[in-house]
Structure 1
Amino acid sequence: MPGMDTAWLVTNLIAGLLLPPLNLLLLAAAGFWLARRRPRLGRGLMLAAFAGLWLLATPWVGDRLLAALQTPYQPIRGDEAEAIVILGGGSDPAPEYGGDRPSQATLERLRYGAHLARQTGKPLLVTGGAPKGGRPEAGIMAEALAADFGLPGAWVEGRSRNTRENAEYSAELLEKAGIRRIYLVSQAWHLPRAVPVFERAGLTVVPAGTGYAGLELSTPLDFLPDIRGLKNSYIALHEAIGLVWYRIRN
């Protein structure tokens, strides 16, 4: 796609190789290739790939992996910070709206950010660029805040390509306004990676998580694989790899 950031593409290709389902499919392929020459090892690898895919695709496992990462909920009083920063989480094509719209994850963040803005009266900053090309996420988010929630975005940061740049460029904008303390809105499982990055950018951060994973066992179906379970496992492992990578770089 024209305008796609090469570094973002390479990073996500590498991540794809390390994450389910591709990593398990590659393991199964290796087992199949070895099955003739080393039958026991080949069958063991294929069985491990099948078992791993089954487990990671169950909602019971996926929810627990996410819950292990997420920042504990803490009530917001309204006097802990001076502004609300909402992190972008992607956008999707929406021809019925005449262009791109916030993804489900981004809309979840916007909804909670709008709730906090009404509760606290603090101004909003939306942050997110366009690593895949097209329009920056921040502009799409600002439009959604105005159209869907009736709230203006005081600051729109559309240059960033990742969480680290979200923090750096947002801090630049906030510093000009004399703001150092923020509520940081994102999914609860993303905040353990995002909060330290924003703190290293010189900001005092109050985590404002949304989208908490539940641990209640609703039905025996939670032990059967489905797309929600695999998605949650993918997100959790992606975040775990991101946490390790950010710590290595710092």
Structure 2
Amino acid sequence: MQMAFDSALVLFWLKKTVSIMVQPPVAPLLLIAVGLLLAARRRRGGFALAWAGVVATLLLSTPASVGWLLNGLETAPVVDAAAMREAQAIVVLGAGKRRHAPEYGGETVNRLALERLRYAARLARRTGLPVLVSGGAPTGDVPEAVLMQATLEEDFRIPVRWVERASLDTRQNAQFSAVPLRAAGVRRILLVTHAAHMPRAQAAFEDAGLHVIPAPTAWLGGTGAGDQVLGELPGPTSAYAGWYAVHEWLGLLAYRLTR
């Protein structure tokens, strides 16, 4: 039996592969490796390239420089009560899942998705608005939206009205979610995602014809880590935030080029 060719899925994995190659930690490591190989023939140029990789690694894991990258992304303010009253529904975007979660019987949402779901549950209790969860299954198993629905309903006791389970990226989150929302007469949404992801997500949902009221959560920037001397040194937390910032800037660039 032949497996059907899915061009959308192939494109998704191609984008993922390219994304990995141009983001930390792989991109700086490639610079270092290529530079060291080149140094055998062109010593000055090779070592310059290798040192560029080292500098990039430090810049993308140092709180001060990472914070600068995040400042241009985490611009949406905390949603206020007046803005909430304008919304007709809450839309929560998926952020990935844990495939090995035996304590949950198999798969569950990852910590990033859980941060978004927790805030969406808080908003749902406060507003009484219906909830849509969005996230597909690029690996061909349980759609992320199904896991998100289970988390909201079982762990937070928040009912989910719409489950969008076909999308593979932010653009598709918006396009596919807009269909059931418009059918239900919903035009104004509270959009829940990470603060750094909000610019790209908001643009996608507005392009899909919805009025977006940003409801960001889980800021990666801020001053908390910098209050101590050690907070200004490179570390795993700032390295992760650096990766996320680069990911979002590249995602914004790609979105605008293909808009």
**Aligning the two structures, in what range does the TM-score lie when normalised by the shorter sequence?**
over 0.9
Alpha-carbon distance in 2 for matches of 1:44, 1:107: 42
Q: Residue 72 of structure 2 corresponds to which residue in structure 1?
A: 68
- 1:27 alignment partner in structure 2: 31
**Could you list the runs of 5+ residues in structure 2 that have no partner in the other structure?**
none
Task: Find the aligned partners of 2:120 and 2:198 in 1 and give their Cα distance.
Answer: 14
**In structure 2, what residue type is equivalent to 1:109?**
R
Aligned to 1:81: 87
Instruction: Find out whether 1:166 has 2:170 as its counterpart.
Output: no
Partner of 1:198: 205
Runs of 4+ in 1 over 6 A off after TM superposition: none
2:112 aligned with 1:105, yes or no? yes
Q: TM-score, normalised by structure 2?
A: 0.91
Residue from 28, 43, 47 that aligns with 2:47: 43
Residue type at the aligned position of 2:249: A
- State the alpha-carbon separation in 2 of the partners of residues 218 and 200 from structure 1: 40
Which residue does the alignment assign to 2:103?
96
Q: Distance in 1 between matches of 2:125 and 2:168?
A: 29
1:62 CA displacement: 2.7
Residue 219, structure 1, aligned to residue 208, structure 2: no
Structure number with the bigger relative contact order (C-alpha 8 A, sep ≥ 6) is 1
Q: What secondary structure, in the 3-state scheme, does the structure 1 residue paired with 2:41 have?
A: coil
Deviation at 1:63, TM superposition (A): 3.5
Point out where structure 1 has 5 or more consecutive residues left out of the alignment: none
User: What is the deviation of 1:75?
Assistant: 3.1
TM-score (norm. length: structure 1): 0.94
How much identity, in percent, do the aligned residues show?
43
Pairwise CA distance, 1:76: 2.6
| C-alpha RMSD of the superposition | 1.7
Residue equivalent to 1:249: 258
Three-state SS of the structure 2 residue aligned to 1:239 is helix
Count of aligned positions:
249
